[in-house]
Structures are given as C-alpha cells and as structure tokens.
Chain A
C-alpha cells in the first residue's frame, strides 16, 4: 500500500504553497510547455541558458500539488547547474519516480528530491511528478511543447489512464 502520508510531507506542501521560481523570465533563451491531459496539469517553463549553464529558470501554470512542488524543487535544484547535470537529474528523477532507481541502494544526485520517491506506488500520480522534468528536457532541447501522452517521448511513463 502506498504510503501517501510520506508523499504529502511538509516539504512538498510548502513548495506547493510557496512555489520557488514561479513566474516568467524577461529574456528566456529556451521555453517549453507541458500538459498532462489526464488531469489538466499544465505548466510553462522558461530557461536562460548561458553557454552550458542554466543561469535562470522560471515556471508557471495550473496543476496539482505534486506537480507544482516537483516543478518548484526542480527549478531550485537545476538553477546554476550545467545542461549536462540537468540531463543526469532528469534521468535519475524519472527512474526514481517509475521505481527503476532504488534511491536507498544506488548512488544518485537527487538529494532532497527523493521526497518524491513515494509516487512510484501511485501509478496515476507518477506523471504529475515527472511533468516538470519532462518539460525541462523539452526546453533544453527547445521543443515548443510536450505532453505526457506522446508515446514516442523517452520520458513517457508506463502508467494507466487516470
């Protein structure tokens, strides 16, 4: 049984109430929008990539607490990091959320982001947590828009219909 109490911990609730890096950038170099049509989550992500470094990042949109907190913590984590660091985190976060990565036994760089590990037991909520990361990847690769429903996308999470 999913330990949802553990999922809705104070960190996540706090980021949901007071999302970090919420808003827009004046001169973004990269942008992407993410949709989860199943629950109506929608977010717009803007990046200011200076060379290889993520100098600025901001997001806005309407979503559930899991998605909003995930976006907030993601932006706080990747700000100032390199594009390559971000790609590593994107991969590790997806593997954690889908249960492929056991954070307790294998080395990773997720740090506090492991508060989202509990979504792996909630198949219908995995997409909520992954959507911001999914969108970050699209932004870095400058895809105009992305959706959790595009099958060809490598971030497509193997979950059921909400």
Chain B
C-alpha cells in the first residue's frame, strides 16, 4: 500500500495551551454524577466554544432576517453574513470559488445531494459505484437507493485486519462500467486515514469522479480540496465545533453546473411559471427554501476559531493524545484495540474481554467518561471484525492527557466490576 503522507504529518506543530483552550468551552465544566465530565465522544459531535455561542447570540439578537429576499437593512446584513460564512468555509477547504460551497444540513444531506443531483442524472443500469468497507451508513444507503432505482451496482473495497483499505483491490475493481467512487477520508469507527489523494488520482486517470466523506477528517487536519483534486467533499458543522443542522458539500463548479437540483422550492429558481421554471445558478440552485442561517454563520465563527488555533497545532495535539492513549491501552490486559492502521486520526476503538461495550459505556459514564458504544453507523466494519459493537474514545484538541488517564482508570473500574 502506498499511503501518501496525510497533511497532519506535514503540519507544523506549535504546542497548544490546552488549559486556556478548555476555558473557552463552558460545557467542559459540567459534572456528571459528581465527577468532572471527560468528553471523549467528539467523533459523534464536538462541543462549542463561547466564541461561537456568542456569535449565534449576536446574530439572533441583532442581525436576523431572511436572506436573498428583501431590500431592508436586516435582510441585507443577514445575507452578507451568510455569504461571508460561505467564503470562510471556501477558504477553509481551499475551494477555487465560493460558489463551490453549498450549504446542507450536514454530511448526510451533502451525500444525498450528490446522489440525487449527479447519480440520478448520470448513472444508469449496469453502472458501478465503488465504496469501501469502512463507509459510514450515510455513504452507503443513498447509493443503495440509487442502485435500486437505476439498476446500478455497488462494488466494495475490502480492508485488512488493521482496518486499512486494500488499495490493490481498489484498483482491481475498476472497469469500463465504473462511474463513481465514494470514500471517507478518516474512518469514524476505526480512525483509519485513507490515502484518498492517490485513490482520487487513480480514479481520475479512468475518468471517474470521486466523492470524499470528510466528516471525520475536517475536524482533525488541513483540508485542501484543490490539492486532493476531489470532485465532491462533504462535511458536518457539528463535528467542527459548530452548530448542528449545518454542513457543506464542496463540488467542482463544472460538475455542479451540470447536475440537477436536489430539492425544489424558493431561492433555487430564477423564474417560475406553470409552463416553465428556470433554475437559479450554483450554489443557489441547490439551496431551496430558507436555510439554517444562524447555523451557517455559527459554522463560519467555528472555522475562525479553529483557524486561529491552527489545524496543524490541533492535529499535533490530537496525535499526541491518540499515541498516549494507544500506548496505555496496548499495555492493559483484556483490552483489544480495534483498528491499528499505520495512519490514524483521533479515534480509538476498543473491546474489553468479557465485557459487552454497552456495559462498558454505562459504567464509564458513571466515572464521568463519555464514550460512544455501538456499531458507529458502520455495520460492515463490525461484520468484518465479527463483533456487534465497540467502545470508542474520540479526541478533540481540547482534551487533555489527564483525560486519557481518566479513561484508563475508568476501563480499570469496568474490568474490576466484571472480574
């Protein structure tokens, strides 16, 4: 496997002042059953700093109106702020143009947009879509729906025991019927960082467009869609310290222009009559109805916050947390780490011998430690490892080494209960 080095390894790594950063997050002061909250479920959703909370409050108290619809002052302010948020995100992922950023409700909707807008227009019977074993259900189910409708077919890239994609097998799946590739950059279940840049290059050499599910990558590393040369990139705001209900689809302008709209309604049209409706241009063509304006502006503020700390520093700190936690868990008897890829980001999935993950999760919660237990919306991964579920600790830049120690102590407590 020729894994291209992930951006996080190239980034400079100035030390990060975790205590100062933690002070920005009011929720981290919570106690759970009398114990300090140790929030290690960041892959499911991250927490929001005061700066973003304040931005939402300011928008709601002094800037709110509907956008793109009126000439009055508030509407103009709201429109400008909403479009400014789009600009910030475009810069964050290094899009060529702002209009290549479409606001969606999150990664799930972004992928569904591509399925409807691109898949339903350009794929047909017998066409093949390449996905991977690692995919989140949100990058599987929409394509199954498309296959059912069109008679297309899904081909799946297998993984090895470490949870790494078998790139040789990926390359062998291509044939003249291959019309689309969907792959996640970082696995939410195992933490594997996939070599998406070389995978994209391989697909492009065969004229096949590629969608990257960046839900778990965007919070942990520099994203450069031009460098990756991906055709689509999806991410969720709530995993980036922003609000829920907002995310984006990045798409190359030329592709977005050829795609059909996903939803019909207001704002996505230029003119409507019962004889003929003319669609608006990109990105409005894909943003029917009143969007979550506050959430978009909140996401813009979250990106300002992250950019100020720097994705390089964030990645370096999270890698240190992951390395420290991995080293500790590796040494513990009865603990088995699931997902041991050479290149991983911020996710540590594990199984405890003789303890069902749900029991572990409930008992860890009693120690104040919040982890996710379950199949992580990645049942094919669980099937591959022949387990129903794992416990998963996932780190953010505001987690401390002491919190890793709390996780380790919590696991010992669980083991004692089940000894």
The residues of B that contact A66 with a CB separation of less than 8 Å are 358-359
Instruction: Give min CB distance, B262 to chain A, whole Å.
Output: 25
The residues of A that contact B357 with a CB separation of less than 8 Å are 39, 64
Q: Please report the C-alpha to C-alpha distance between residue A38 and residue B374 in the assembled complex, in whole angstroms.
A: 7
Q: Which residues in window 349-393 of B have CB below 8 A to A?
A: 355-359, 362-363, 365-366, 373-375, 382, 388-389
The residues of B that contact A62 with a CB separation of less than 8 Å are 388
The residues of A that contact B362 with a CB separation of less than 8 Å are 4, 7-8, 122, 125
Contact yes or no, B388 A4, CB < 8 A: no
Contact of A63 among B33, B356, B373 (CB under 8 A): B356
User: Closest residue to A40 on the B side, CB-wise?
Assistant: B388
Q: Which residues in window 379-418 of B have CB below 8 A to A?
A: 382, 388-389, 417-418
**A115 CB within 8 Å of chain B:** no
**B32 CB within 8 Å of chain A:** yes
Contact yes or no, B32 A162, CB < 8 A: no
**A65 CB within 8 Å of chain B:** yes
**A138 CB within 8 Å of chain B:** no
User: Closest residue to B387 on the A side, CB-wise?
Assistant: A40
The residues of B that contact A2 with a CB separation of less than 8 Å are 33, 366
- Among B358, B363, B365, B374: residue with most chain A CB under 10 A: B358
A interface: dominant SS:
mixed
Q: Please report the C-alpha to C-alpha distance between residue A37 and residue B152 in the assembled complex, in whole angstroms.
A: 28
Contact of A4 among B355, B365, B375, B382 (CB under 8 A): B365
Beyond A13-B417, A39-B374, A62-B388, whether A4 also contacts B366 by CB under 8 A is yes
**A112 CB within 8 Å of chain B:** no
Number of A-B pairs, beta carbon distance below 8 Å: 51
Instruction: Give min CB distance, A152 to chain B, whole Å.
Output: 23
Contact yes or no, A65 B366, CB < 8 A: no
Residues of chain B at interface, number, CB under 8 A: 20
Q: Please report the C-alpha to C-alpha distance between residue A85 and residue B23 in the assembled complex, in whole angstroms.
A: 57
Q: Which residues in window 1-40 of A have CB below 8 A to B?
A: 1-2, 4-5, 7-8, 13, 38-40
Q: Please report the C-alpha to C-alpha distance between residue A65 and residue B418 in the assembled complex, in whole angstroms.
A: 9
Q: Please report the C-alpha to C-alpha distance between residue A53 and residue B62 in the assembled complex, in whole angstroms.
A: 71
The residues of B that contact A65 with a CB separation of less than 8 Å are 355-356, 359, 418
- Among A40, A42, A128, A162: residue with most chain B CB under 10 A: A40
The residues of B that contact A38 with a CB separation of less than 8 Å are 374
Instruction: Give min CB distance, A132 to chain B, whole Å.
Output: 15
The residues of A that contact B366 with a CB separation of less than 8 Å are 2, 4-5
Contact yes or no, A128 B388, CB < 8 A: no
The residues of A that contact B32 with a CB separation of less than 8 Å are 1
- Among A63, A64, A128: residue with most chain B CB under 10 A: A64
Q: Which residues in window 24-38 of B have CB below 8 A to A?
A: 32-34
The residues of B that contact A122 with a CB separation of less than 8 Å are 362
Q: Please report the C-alpha to C-alpha distance between residue A83 and residue B34 in the assembled complex, in whole angstroms.
A: 45
Instruction: Give min CB distance, A128 to chain B, whole Å.
Output: 7
Q: Which residues of B contact A (CB under 8 A)?
A: 32-34, 355-359, 362-363, 365-366, 373-375, 382, 388-389, 417-418
Beyond A39-B357, A39-B389, 6 additional pairs, beta carbon < 8 A:
A4-B365, A13-B417, A40-B382, A41-B388, A65-B359, A162-B358
